[in-house]
Homo-oligomer: A and B are copies of this chain.
Amino acid sequence: MKAEILTILKETDGYVSGQELCEKFGVSRTAVWKAMNQLKKEGYEIESVQNKGYHLTKTPDILSKNELVSIRKTKWVGNEIYYYDVTDSTNTQAKSLGEKEAPDGTLVVADKQENGRGRRGRSFESPAATGIFMTLLLKPEIEPGNASMLTLVTAMAVAKGIQKIADLPVQIKWPNDIVIHGKKVCGILTEMSAQMDYVNYIVIGVGINVHNEEFPEEIKDIATSIYLESGKHINRAMLIETIWEEFEYYYDLYIETQDLSKIVKEYDSYLVNRNEKVRVLDPKEPYEGKAMGITERGELIVDTWEARRLVSAGEVSVRGVYGYV
């Protein structure tokens, strides 16, 4: 009921009558009053005026299951939401839910991660009340070999989401980092549990720097936050909602063709370093070339003097020749 009351308060410009809420939910005035008090305790500023009712005057940046449910507009992402003030890692939680038969679309969100992880087991800083740490659980009927493209689908959705909410010049560093003015604002970690030719489940973890006002010396030249770039403190729940709405759009395009053919063009337009010189840190032998865009399978097209080369999304690093991107 709390999430539904929240939705009504948000969608109403003026006052919401207590009597109406009682009738709608079939509860007593005291029950409504208690729910309002709980919402106030969570940080919502709610004015109550005799004979008029309740009015939401301010929604601070609250992350909670109620908040996420109250603004949810997605079709299937977030049909189940698990919210944690603190967890070890949202990917770990989502994988555990995947083993326990949680449905396709389950969303795990945390305010703080104590053991956040990046690619290859690297740690990912996840302090409280500053970022978005979330993981989507998918159980798609796709071949395991097609799963890595989902990381690019998600990158596209995050880029569009940040652009819409914060109006920033977002770009994608292939395959899956989101950068603003060349600095990383978001990382994506896709993990899969599969049998030989069958996907058990996929988890897509998204970590976004939102309110950070500074970064440690060793990463301050390569990391940034939405606040540092825009000077604004955006609402995290709204950004989460927007990202997954975008995701549903691009995911449909991906599922339709089982590749990125319908996304390539737009993805390319977000590609940092496009038409510029890049260095591919191939473990066998690094080489330089011009980044041209991606293929329908999500590979990066790099033209060298000798030939066109396709770089598979993986651990291969691609850097701009003039500084880290």
Contact = CB atoms under 8 A, between A and B. Distances in A.
28 contacts: A92-B99, A95-B99, A95-B193, A119-B195, A119-B196, A119-B198, A120-B195, A143-B314, A144-B144, A144-B192, A148-B197, A151-B196, A189-B195, A190-B196, A191-B193, A191-B195, A191-B200, A192-B193, A192-B194, A192-B195, A193-B193, A196-B314, A196-B315, A197-B313, A197-B314, A197-B315, A198-B314, A198-B315
Interface string A174-193: 01000000000000011111
Contact of A196 (B148, B193, B197): B148
Interface string A74-102: 00000000000000000010011001000
A151 B151 CA distance: 27
Nearest to A176: B196
Contacts of A295: none
9 nearest CB pairs, A to B: A197-B314, A148-B196, A197-B315, A193-B193, A192-B194, A196-B313, A196-B314, A191-B195, A120-B198
Nearest to A313: B196
A21 B92 CA distance: 47
A258 interface: no
Nearest to A192: B194
Nearest to A193: B193
A189 B175 CA distance: 31
Contacts of A194: 191-192, 194
A145 interface: yes
Interface of A: 92, 95-96, 99, 119-120, 143-145, 148, 151, 175, 189-198, 200, 312-316
A144 to B, nearest CB: 8
Contact of A195 (B143, B190, B195, B197): B190
Contacts of A314: 143, 196-198
Contacts of A198: 119-120, 314-315
Nearest to A175: B196
Nearest to A316: B197
Contacts of A175: 196
A191 B315 CA distance: 22
A251 B316 CA distance: 27
Contacts of A315: 196-198
Contacts of A95: 99, 193
A181 B313 CA distance: 45
Contacts of A195: 119-120, 189-192
Max chain B C-beta neighbours (<10 A), residue from A175, A196, A197, A312: A196
A25 to B, nearest CB: 40
Given A120-B198, A144-B192, 16 more contacts: A95-B99, A119-B196, A143-B314, A144-B144, A145-B145, A151-B196, A189-B195, A191-B193, A191-B194, A191-B200, A192-B192, A194-B194, A196-B314, A197-B312, A197-B316, A198-B315
